[in-house]
Amino acid sequence: MINNIQDTKNINAIRNAIALIKNFVDYNTALIKLNECNKKASDNNLWDDVDYAASILKEKDRLETIINPINGIETKLNDIIELFELAESENDTDLLQTLSDNLNTLKEETNTLQLETLLSSKNDLLNCFLEINAGAGGTEAQDWAEMLARMYSRWADSRKYKIEITDQNIGEEAGVKSIVLHIVGNKAYGWLKKESGIHRLVRISPFDSNARRHTSFASVLVTPEIDNTIEIEINDVDLRIDVYRASGAGGQHVNKTESAVRITHIPTGIVTSSQIDRSQHRNKEIAMQMLRAKLYAKKLQEQQVEANASINKTDISWGNQIRSYVLQPYQMVKDLRTGVENTNAVAVLDGDINKFLEAAIAKI
């Protein structure tokens, strides 16, 4: 029996969290499926069909990412409980304090895992495209769009994700009119999917000689990068493909060849483009990949009726904002959906957005 009341509360909290996690992910079914995958993976003829083998191993990895963390926490908890009983029987105060500290750490790990389980669907595991478009307001809004791109890039860097700019339309004076980031990493889409919406900035303008306060808007749209196992029908007759000269950095080549590609899906009006590569063929592949992602996201939105994930362009203005970033006359970043706030706006714009992402995910 553990005498410390707080330690007992932490143990019960961890046990309750594990039970909720197991229920949420259907732990017992996952175990059965994992055993089936292990049997199939051990078949000597598995690699006779490479695609089938790859799908089995991919499913096996997915199930292990669900099961192994739960088993790991249960093992740690049982070990700590056994050591608690030993330490109390021997009145080892130093060990008891160490175990209390370990229990607090394990509780934090369990809380994190509980949040991660909300990102256990197939789509949550995918990479994503994050598109930012400046609202009305010229240079102010374009600079804000670039600030957002930097914020998400710094956040992705902190998680060791790979970031690549697949398309951007640079502003005349500063910032970007639009930019698309390809973010590659475990659960990139799951973590960022709730960032779709309008983001509002209030600050003293660095472009205004009278140092007046300005309000700027930019829209963010996050779509999953889908693989070939997800079928999205696209008819060639529904596409208009335009080529043009790339803008921005790239040397003399950028200005001399029409390597950039823009694809318009006529039935939906969805437009994607890429100018990252010198090869027109490669840019077309990337633009098609983004189009498939957007069409898939549109399909999900229609099925789930999730207003926050709307694929359709909304008015980039006051009525549709999800988060407000105020730099003057005070500092405050506030998510209008969850109520989460942070008075260190500089840190947020430097990529410290986990608190906002976690709250949005937990509200699912």
Spatial CB neighbours of 189, under 8 Å, sequence gap ≥ 6: 123, 124, 125, 126, 127, 128, 222, 223, 224, 225
Please give the Cα distance from 137 to 44 (Å, whole number). Answer: 63
Identify the CA nearest to 191 among candidates 18, 17, 362.
362
Where residue 193 falls among pLDDT bands split at 50, 70, 90? very high
How high is the pLDDT of residue 228? Answer: 64
> Out of 42-51, 199-208, 244-253, 337-346, which region has the weakest mean confidence (pLDDT)?
244-253
Spatial CB neighbours of 224, under 8 Å, sequence gap ≥ 6: 123, 126, 127, 128, 189, 193, 293, 296, 297
| Residue 284: alpha-carbon gap to chain centroid | 25
Identify the CA nearest to 197 among candidates 299, 304, 296, 336.
336
Whole-number average pLDDT of the chain: 87
The sign one gets for the Cα dihedral 68, 70, 71, 76 is positive
Spatial CB neighbours of 229, under 8 Å, sequence gap ≥ 6: 55
pLDDT reading at 319 higher than 70:
no
Nearest-Å Rg of the Cα atoms of the chain is 25
Q: Mean pLDDT across the stretch 162-169?
A: 92
- What 3-state DSSP class applies to 266? coil
The sign one gets for the Cα dihedral 177, 190, 116, 57 is negative
pLDDT reading at 304 higher than 70:
no
Give residue-wise pLDDT tens across range 46-62. Answer: 999 999 999 999 999 98
Torsion of CA 271, 183, 316, 356, to 10 degrees: 160
Give residue-wise pLDDT tens across range 215-239. Answer: 999 999 999 988 666 678 888 889 9
DSSP 273-327: EE-SSS-HHHHHHHHHHHHHHHHHHHHHHHHHT-GGG--S----SGGGEEEEEE-
Strand blocks (E) in the chain: 128-134, 162-170, 176-184, 197-204, 213-224, 239-244, 260-265, 270-274, 321-326, 332-335, 341-342
Q: Mean pLDDT across the stretch 255-281?
A: 84
pLDDT reading at 314 higher than 60:
no
| All domains of the chain in start order, with CATH | 5-119 (1.20.58.410), 122-364 (3.30.70.1660)
Spatial CB neighbours of 150, under 8 Å, sequence gap ≥ 6: 349
- What 3-state DSSP class applies to 352? coil
pLDDT reading at 306 higher than 50:
no
pLDDT reading at 311 higher than 90:
no
What does the block give as tokens for 49?
């069909």
Where residue 252 falls among pLDDT bands split at 50, 70, 90? very low
pLDDT reading at 208 higher than 80:
no
Where residue 65 falls among pLDDT bands split at 50, 70, 90? confident
Please give the Cα distance from 221 to 360 (Å, whole number). Answer: 15
